[in-house]
Protein backbone atom coordinates (compact mmCIF):
# COMPACT_ATOMS: atom_id res chain seq x y z
CA UNK A 1 0.00 0.00 0.00
CA UNK A 2 1.28 3.46 -0.93
CA UNK A 3 0.41 6.92 0.25
CA UNK A 4 -3.21 8.07 -0.14
CA UNK A 5 -3.93 9.76 -3.45
CA UNK A 6 -3.59 13.54 -3.43
CA UNK A 7 -6.48 15.85 -4.20
CA UNK A 8 -6.28 19.47 -5.34
CA UNK A 9 -7.91 22.40 -3.58
CA UNK A 10 -8.12 25.92 -5.01
CA UNK A 11 -8.13 28.41 -2.13
CA UNK A 12 -8.99 32.08 -2.58
CA UNK A 13 -9.69 33.17 1.00
CA UNK A 14 -8.91 32.22 4.58
CA UNK A 15 -7.37 28.84 3.72
CA UNK A 16 -4.43 30.72 2.16
CA UNK A 17 -3.50 32.09 5.61
CA UNK A 18 -0.60 30.19 7.24
CA UNK A 19 -2.13 30.49 10.74
CA UNK A 20 -5.44 29.04 9.52
CA UNK A 21 -3.58 26.24 7.68
CA UNK A 22 -1.66 25.41 10.86
CA UNK A 23 -4.95 25.25 12.79
CA UNK A 24 -6.82 23.18 10.18
CA UNK A 25 -4.08 20.90 8.79
CA UNK A 26 -1.40 21.02 11.48
CA UNK A 27 1.11 22.54 9.06
CA UNK A 28 1.57 25.36 6.58
CA UNK A 29 0.82 24.34 2.99
CA UNK A 30 2.85 24.96 -0.14
CA UNK A 31 0.79 26.02 -3.10
CA UNK A 32 1.06 27.27 -6.65
CA UNK A 33 -0.60 30.45 -7.88
CA UNK A 34 -3.50 29.80 -10.24
CA UNK A 35 -6.78 31.44 -11.24
CA UNK A 36 -10.34 30.52 -12.08
CA UNK A 37 -11.79 32.16 -15.18
CA UNK A 38 -15.27 33.62 -14.82
CA UNK A 39 -15.31 33.82 -11.02
CA UNK A 40 -14.69 36.59 -8.50
CA UNK A 41 -14.20 36.91 -4.77
CA UNK A 42 -17.40 38.10 -3.14
CA UNK A 43 -18.53 38.10 0.48
CA UNK A 44 -20.86 36.16 2.73
CA UNK A 45 -22.05 37.08 6.22
CA UNK A 46 -21.83 34.21 8.73
CA UNK A 47 -22.70 34.84 12.39
CA UNK A 48 -22.06 38.56 11.99
CA UNK A 49 -18.62 38.06 10.36
CA UNK A 50 -17.77 38.71 6.71
CA UNK A 51 -16.01 35.86 4.88
CA UNK A 52 -14.88 35.46 1.27
CA UNK A 53 -17.17 33.65 -1.17
CA UNK A 54 -16.48 32.61 -4.76
CA UNK A 55 -19.16 33.90 -7.15
CA UNK A 56 -19.54 33.52 -10.91
CA UNK A 57 -18.63 36.66 -12.84
CA UNK A 58 -17.72 36.30 -16.53
CA UNK A 59 -15.76 39.58 -16.51
CA UNK A 60 -12.99 38.57 -14.07
CA UNK A 61 -10.65 35.80 -12.95
CA UNK A 62 -10.48 34.70 -9.32
CA UNK A 63 -6.87 34.61 -8.11
CA UNK A 64 -5.79 32.03 -5.56
CA UNK A 65 -3.50 29.16 -4.64
CA UNK A 66 -3.66 25.53 -5.69
CA UNK A 67 -2.80 23.10 -2.90
CA UNK A 68 -2.22 19.34 -3.02
CA UNK A 69 -3.95 17.70 -0.06
CA UNK A 70 -4.57 14.20 1.20
CA UNK A 71 -8.17 12.98 1.43
CA UNK A 72 -7.90 13.41 5.23
CA UNK A 73 -6.79 17.02 4.72
CA UNK A 74 -9.78 17.61 2.46
CA UNK A 75 -12.10 16.25 5.16
CA UNK A 76 -10.51 18.71 7.61
CA UNK A 77 -11.09 21.55 5.13
CA UNK A 78 -14.74 20.48 4.78
CA UNK A 79 -15.15 20.62 8.57
CA UNK A 80 -13.48 24.04 8.69
CA UNK A 81 -15.70 25.49 5.94
CA UNK A 82 -18.86 24.20 7.62
CA UNK A 83 -22.42 24.07 6.35
CA UNK A 84 -22.31 27.51 4.72
CA UNK A 85 -19.99 26.21 1.98
CA UNK A 86 -20.03 23.24 -0.37
CA UNK A 87 -17.31 21.83 -2.59
CA UNK A 88 -17.54 21.81 -6.40
CA UNK A 89 -15.00 20.61 -8.93
CA UNK A 90 -13.63 23.23 -11.34
CA UNK A 91 -11.02 23.48 -14.06
CA UNK A 92 -8.51 26.25 -13.39
CA UNK A 93 -6.84 28.55 -15.91
CA UNK A 94 -3.81 26.21 -15.81
CA UNK A 95 -6.05 23.35 -17.00
CA UNK A 96 -5.79 21.53 -13.66
CA UNK A 97 -8.87 20.20 -11.87
CA UNK A 98 -9.44 21.22 -8.27
CA UNK A 99 -12.08 21.49 -5.58
CA UNK A 100 -13.50 24.95 -4.87
CA UNK A 101 -15.69 26.06 -1.96
CA UNK A 102 -18.83 28.01 -2.92
CA UNK A 103 -22.04 28.97 -1.11
CA UNK A 104 -24.05 25.97 0.08
Q: What is the pLDDT of residues 35-77, one digit of tens each?
A: 999 999 999 998 999 999 999 999 999 999 999 999 999 999 9
- Is 53 in contact with 43 (CB distance < 8 Å)? yes
Distances (CA, A) of 98 to 10, 31, 46, 101: 6, 12, 25, 10
Q: In angstroms, rounded to a whole number, what is the distance separating the alpha carbons of residues 98 and 77?
A: 14
The correct answer on CATH 3.10.490.10 for the domain covering 7-103 is yes
pLDDT of 5 reads: 63
Domain ranges of the chain: 7-103
pLDDT of residue 76: 97
Calpha distance 45→99 (Å, rounded): 22
Task: For the full predicted model, state whether its pTM sits above 0.85.
Answer: yes
Residue 4 pLDDT > 80: no
- pLDDT for 56 equals 95
pLDDT reported for residue 52: 93
Residue 73 Cα distances to 27, 57, 93, angstroms? 11, 29, 24
Amino acid sequence: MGEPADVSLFAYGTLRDAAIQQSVFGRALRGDPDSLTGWRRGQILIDGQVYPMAEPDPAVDLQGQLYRLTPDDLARADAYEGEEYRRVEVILASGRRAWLYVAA
